[in-house]
Amino acid sequence: MHTSVTIIGAGLGGLTLARVLHVHGIPVTVYEAESSPSARAQGGLLDIHDYNGQLALKAAGLMDEFHAIVLEGRQAMRILDRDGTVLVDQPDDGMGGRPEVQRGDLRQVLLDSLPADTVRWGHKVSRTRALGDGRHEVTFADGATVVTRLLVGADGAWSRVRPLLSTATPEYIGKSVVETYLFDAGTRHPAAAKAVGGGMLMAPSPGREIFAHREKDDTLHAYVGLSEPQDWFAAIDFADADKATARIAQEFDGWAPELTALITDSDVAPVVRPLYALPAGHRWERVPGVTLLGDAAHLAAPNGEGANLAMLDGAELGGALAAHPDDIEAALTEYEQAMFPRSAETVTDQMPEVDAHGLIEWFAEKSQ
């Protein structure tokens, strides 16, 4: 295939696509709005599943590099009631199919697998438009443009490529997550560290939840979920870290102190992240020369599948283009026909808003 592929977005999905194309000798350029790979923190732990994310890494020829960054023991899971009672304490026996890695480490593995000039940093897209005959023009914030015969939007929730295919826009799901970090947890925050254990902590209740991961360097990364409208969060002054953490912790009055410590003892200012989703089953009619992957195509509420699906999208799209080097439209059609139902099925598999006992029952039903 001689047509150069233009990818917008250097997240995990876009980089997986770029790597698979590179493996097959297909020219590719990735345009990324961030100024450099280290422009911002890349998030927390990801569990990379053997039925999607790992399949993508195999297609990319990066399994050895993946195994080298896996954090041992992090597949352990605990479910606690709001009073701190441990209801499930599942150790990591090394047999699970969801090893955990830091998102930033995985992104770096993908970047290191590509020629140095593949990603063009500091290219924020301001507009895209169709030129006809399958060609599209991308305009960047600095006024520069590029014209391509194969454009892939891997640019996340607020994709600038999506309008070429769909009028759908993400909508707030009625829930936000407040992120906190506790550093040197074993020595500085022993009660919270004991509650989290060696891997993941889940302490759910309807409308309120505390999830946490033990990341590398003895860091606890907590996700405090609250089902409230955006105006509710806007009324909290997150610029005042102490007042903000106190206000969020107030919503967990009566919970065990080792759990609320994941809020009140944060070593960084809390960050609120509203959650958005595209309509369930989002799809579009085939438009020559352009497609989407990952959150740009099927943004959903967090359920552990987003990064895995984006990577599988990238791998399968790359494989389809390699299999149909003389027929781009056949490749895009093949990719979309598999991607649409897969993403729609995953969107429906959302964790219910229940208490810890209800969550255990839900897991039991899923395993039958």
Scanning the chain, the segments in alpha helix (DSSP H) are 12-23, 53-59, 63-69, 103-112, 185-188, 190-196, 230-234, 241-250, 257-264, 295-298, 306-323, 328-347, 356-367
Give the tokens for residue 312: 């599988």
Say if residue 295 carries a ligand binding annotation: yes
Task: Report the DSSP beta bridge partners of residue 224.
Answer: 178, 210
Distance CA 258, CA 256 (A): 6
CB 287 within 8 A of CB 165: yes
pLDDT (average), residues 215-232? 96
Q: Which pLDDT value is given to residue 325? A: 92
| pLDDT band per the 50, 70, 90 thresholds, residue 68 | very high
Give me the percent of the chain exceeding a pLDDT of 70.
99
pLDDT (average), residues 49-70? 97
Task: Of 18-27, 55-64, 267-276, 340-349, give the lowest mean pLDDT range.
Answer: 340-349
CB 272 within 8 A of CB 133: no
Say if residue 40 carries a ligand binding annotation: yes
| pLDDT band per the 50, 70, 90 thresholds, residue 219 | very high
Q: Residue 165: which H helix or E strand, with range?
A: none
Q: Which pLDDT value is given to residue 225? A: 97
Quick: pLDDT tens for 127-163: 999 999 999 999 999 999 999 999 999 999 999 999 9
Q: Which pLDDT value is given to residue 60? A: 98
Say if residue 105 carries a ligand binding annotation: no
pTM: 0.95
pLDDT (average), residues 90-105? 90
Does 83 score more than 90 pLDDT? yes
Q: Which pLDDT value is given to residue 204? A: 96
